[in-house]
Amino acid sequence: MAAGLTGIWAVRILLLRDRVIAIWALVVSVVFGCWFAFQHDQRQQRTLPEMTNTTVQLRVQPDDVLVGPDSVQVKGRLPTGQLVTGQYYVGEGEKPEPQWRVMKTSVMTVAGDIQQFAPATNVNEFDYGEYQRQNGVFNRVKISRLVAVRPAVPRTLWQSWLNGCHAIRQRLILQTKRLPPLLAMYVQGLFLGFRADNFYDNLSAVTDLGLIHLFSISGFHVVWLTALVAFVLKRLRCSETMVNVILILVLPSYYILAGAAPSLLRAILVSMLVIIAALAGWKISPLTLWGLSLMLALIWYPALLMQLGGQLSYALAFALIFVEGRSAFAKTMLLNLVSLPFVLYHVYQWHIWSLLANLLILPVFSWLIFPVTLIGAVVGLKFPMLAQMCDHLLGWFTRALDAIAAMPGMITFGKPHILLVIALVVLTLLLLAGRHQRQVIIGLTAVYTLAFMLIHFPVKGEVTFFDIGQGDSFMIREPLGRQITMIDTGGDVFFGGHQVKRRSRALRLNINYMKSMGIHRIDALCLSHQDADHVGFVGDVLQTMDVKRLYIPWGMAANPQFMRRIRPGLKHTKLISVHAGQHITGSGLDVLHPFTPGLGGNEDSMVLTGVYGGLRFTFTGDLGQEGEKDVIAHYPNLRTDVLKLGHHGSKTASAPEFIQALKPKWGIISAGRNNRYGHPNPETLATLAQQHVPFFNTQTNGMIRYRFRDHHPGYWETVMKEEKD
C-alpha cells in the first residue's frame, strides 16, 4: 500500500512537468531512500538471537507496564538500546507481585527467554511481529520471574522531561479507572490514547460503523486542546507570542500524554508548523503544511504509511484541503470515499450506514459527547453524581450506536487486489480535484464492481486447512463461490489455571480469512464431534457468519453441554444430525461415519469425503483406530488422495491398515506448535513413512491450500513453505 501511494505521488510529479519540482522531488526521494535503507539495516542489527534462561535489564516507563489479574505485559529498552516486549503469567491462584506496579521510570531485572516474533502463518492474518518491528520492537521476553526493580536515574534534561510525561500519563490512567466504567473508557480513549482490554467488546459499534477515528486522538483533539489553552492564556492576558511559545512547549508533552499515536503525530506536527510560521511571519499553504508534516513524520516514524492509522490520517487530511467550502453532506461523502479503499484493503467490510452515522454523529460527538467526557474527566472524581450523569449520557449514546450498527447493511466486501486499490485511490483523488466528474464516477463504479466480482465469484475454488493451533478447522469453497462448506471451527483448550483474556483466534484467523475472501455466508458448517479444539469457536462463527445449515454427528444433539454452546447462535440456522450413508446438501461431501448414535466423543466423529479439483479428500475428525477399521470394513473399496489424519496425528488414530487401505497420496496434519500431547506422534510419522505418504503439517507449513478450477487438477500452496505440485 505504501509503495502504491509513493507511485501515485511520483506520477503526479511527472505530470506537473516542472523541472524545479522534479529536481526537489528527486532529492527528497534519494534522502528518504537512504533513510529507509538505514532503518532496514538497523532492524537487522537490532534483532537479537533467541536465548533461554537468561537475565536482562529493562528500562521501562510506568505506562508501558500493564498489570492484569493474572498477567503482566511490559515494553522496555535493553541497556544496548533495543526495544523489547515482555510477557509474564502467574501461576494458578496467584496474582502479580506488587513490585510490578511502578509509578516512575524504572529498571527491571527479569529472568526468562529472549524470543523472536513468530510470523503470521495464515493468509491475510494480522502479522503482529511485523507490526512490532515497524514500531521499533524486535524481540520479546517470555518472563519467568521478576528479579529486582529500582528507580531509573535520568541522565539528561530530555530524559527527565520524557520520564515526567510518562509518569503523569500513568497517574492519569490509574485515576480515570476510578470513574464509572463507560466514562472511564471514553476518557482514556479520547484523551489518553489508552484502550482497555474490553474496549472493542463494549464499543463494537464504533468499529462496525467506521467511527473508530473519533477515538483516535488526532487533529480534532489537538484543535480542541490548542483552542482551550489559548483561550485560558488570553484570559490571563498573555500576548499572542507568549501563547504560541507556550503551545509549542505543551504540544510535544501532550503527544506523550496521549499515547504517541501515528495519527496524533501528524496533528501535532501540523499545529507546531502553523505556530512556528506565525512566529516567523511566514505564509504556508495547507498543502505545504501537509507535505512538511508527512516528511517530518516519516523521519520520526519511517513505517507510518505501512499501517492503516497512518494511511487514513494523511489521506483524510489531504482530502480535507480539497473539500473546504462544500456542504456537510458532500464533505462526508467525499471523505468516506477517500477512506473506503484503505478500509476495504485492511478491514474487508463496510457498513452502508457508516455514511449516515458520520454525517449525523460527528456534530453530536463534537458538541456534546466530547465536552461531556471532558467535564466528567475533570470533575468526575470530586463529584461522583455528576460522573454518573455523564456515564448515563454516554450509555445512551453508545446504545444508539449499537442500534444503528445492528441494522442490516454490513457488506463483507473482501480484500481487493492492490492494483485495484491504487486505481480507486487515483480515481477518488480525481474526484476531489473536481475534473471530469461524470467519467470519474463511472470509473469508480466500474472498478468497485470489478473488485467485488473478482472477490465474490472467483474462478478458482479451494480446500483450505487453517493453521488454527491445536485444533481443526477447514473450508471448502467451490469455484464462483457456489458453495461454502466449513468443517470444524477450532477452539481453545483450557487445562486449568488462569485464562488470558484476548480476542478469539477464530476472529483473527479463519473468520478473518473468510471475510478477506468476501465470504459472509456458510452453506454448511460440519462439526466432527464435541471436543473444544474442534468446536470451541462455533459461537464466534454462528455470531459473525450467516450459517445456513449446521451438521452434527448422529446423537450429539442429546449432549446438553454441546447444545448449550450452540443454542444462542441457532437463530436462522437449521440443525441437522447425520450418519453414515447420508450427504451434506450441495457440497459433494458424503458421510462415512458414525454408524451408531453417540454423544459426540472421539469415537463418534463425523467422517466426510468428497472430490475437489480432481482429488478425493477425506476428513476424519478425531476418529480412533477402531473407528477407522469400521470405516474400511463398511467401505472396502474406499480410496482417497488427501487424508486429513485423525486426532492431529496422534498414535490413537491413523491405523496402518487404514492408511494401507485408503492409499492416500497426501496426508494433512493439523496440530499446534509445541503442543503438550507431542502431536504428531512418532508412531504416526513412522506409519506414513512406511506407506510412503508425504504430508503437510500446519506446524511447519502454516495454512495449507489446494486451489483448483472446475474440471481441472489443482495445486498446493502453503504459507511457510514453497508451493508443492
Q: Do 132 and 17 belong together in one domain?
A: no
Rounded to the nearest 5°, which phi and psi values hold at 286? -55, -35
C-alpha grid cell, residue 617: 479428500
d(CA 440, CA 468): 43
CB atoms inside a 10 Å sphere around CB 259: 19
Residue 179 counted as domain residue: no
Residues 7 and 137 in one domain: no
146 within a domain of the structure (yes/no): yes
Decide if 283 is inside a domain.
no
Q: Are residues 99 and 149 in the same domain?
A: yes
CATH code of the domain covering residue 579: 3.60.15.10
Query: Which among 56, 60, 57 is positioned nearest to 72, based on CA atoms?
Result: 60
Res 502: pLDDT: 59
pLDDT at 7: 65
Describe the strand order of the beta sheet including 589-593 as a list of residue ranges. 583-584, 589-593, 607-612, 615-619, 642-644, 666-669, 695-697
Nearest Cα residue to 102 out of 155, 40, 142, 58: 58
CA–CA separation, 525 vs 521, rounded Å? 10
Q: Which three cell numbers mark 272?
A: 507546531
Q: In 10 A of CB 499, how many CB atoms?
A: 10
Residues 13 and 103 in one domain: no
User: What residues contact 630, with CB distance under 8 A and at least 6 apart?
Assistant: 593, 595
Give the domain-ending residue among 103, 120, 153.
153
Identify the pLDDT of residue 195.
84
Grid cell at residue 441: 464516477
Instruction: Check which CATH number belongs to the domain holding 75 and give it.
Output: 2.40.50
Beta carbons within 8 Å of 244's beta carbon, 6+ residues apart:
275, 278, 279
What's the pLDDT score for residue 36?
78
Q: Specify whether 18 is located in the same domain as 129.
A: no
| Nearest-angstrom CA–CA distance, 385 and 713 | 70
Dump the DSSP string for 562-603: HHHHHGGG-SS-EEEEE-TT-EETTTTEEEEE-SS--SS-GG
Supply 206's cell numbers.
464504533
Which domain covers residue 75, as residue numbers? 52-153
Instruction: Provide the grid cell at 380.
Output: 468526575
Q: What angle do CA 641, 646, 651 make, to 5 degrees?
A: 120
Which residues are bridge partners to 473 per DSSP? Answer: 489
Q: Pairing between strand 349-351 and 484-489?
A: unpaired
* DSSP code for 66: E
Segments in the chain below pLDDT 70: 1-17, 213, 216-218, 493-503, 722-725
Can you tell me the distance from the alpha carbon of 216 to that of 142, in angstroms, rounded to the nearest whole number? 30
Verify that 561 and 705 share a domain, yes or no. Answer: yes
Instruction: Look at residue 243 and tell me if it is in a domain.
Output: no
Q: What type of residue sits at position 725?
A: D
Please tell me whether residues 27 and 63 are part of one structural domain: no
Residues 707, 644 within the same domain:
yes
- Burial of residue 449 (number of CB atoms within 10 Å: 0-12, 13-18, 19+): exposed
Q: Count of domains in the chain?
A: 3
Hey, what amino acid is at 517?
Answer: M
Instruction: Decide if 456 is inside a domain.
Output: no
* N-terminal to C-terminal alpha carbon distance within the chain: 31
Angle at which helices 157-176 and 181-191 cross, to 10°: 160
Strand partners, 704: 465, 718
Residue 470 lies in a domain: yes
Domain boundary (153, 187, 219) is at: 153
Pick the last residue of a domain from 153, 173, 195.
153
**For residue 495, what pLDDT is reported?**
44
The pLDDT score that the predictor gives to residue 724 is 46
Residues 586 and 552 placed together within one structural domain of the fold: yes
What pLDDT is recorded for position 8? 60
407 neighbors 353 (Cβ within 8 angstroms): yes
Cα dihedral 215, 217, 219, 224, rounded to 10, equals 90
Report the candidate in 493, 585, 486 with the shortest Cα–Cα distance to residue 542.
486
Distances in Å between the Cα of 495 and the Cα atoms of 270, 450, 492, 499, 677 are: 52, 48, 10, 9, 12
Q: How far is CA 345 from the centre of its chain?
A: 12
Q: How far is it, in rounded angstroms, from Cα 662 to Cα 657? A: 9
Residue 20 and residue 98 share a domain: no
Strand, helix or coil at 516? helix
- Write down the pLDDT at residue 463: 98
Is the full-model pTM beyond 0.75?
A: yes
Residues 1 and 149 in one domain: no
Contacts of 700 (CB under 8 A, 6+ apart): 720, 721
In a domain, 660, yes or no: yes
Q: Are 108 and 3 within one domain?
A: no
Q: Are 105 and 167 in contact (CB under 8 A)?
A: yes
Domain contains 194 = no
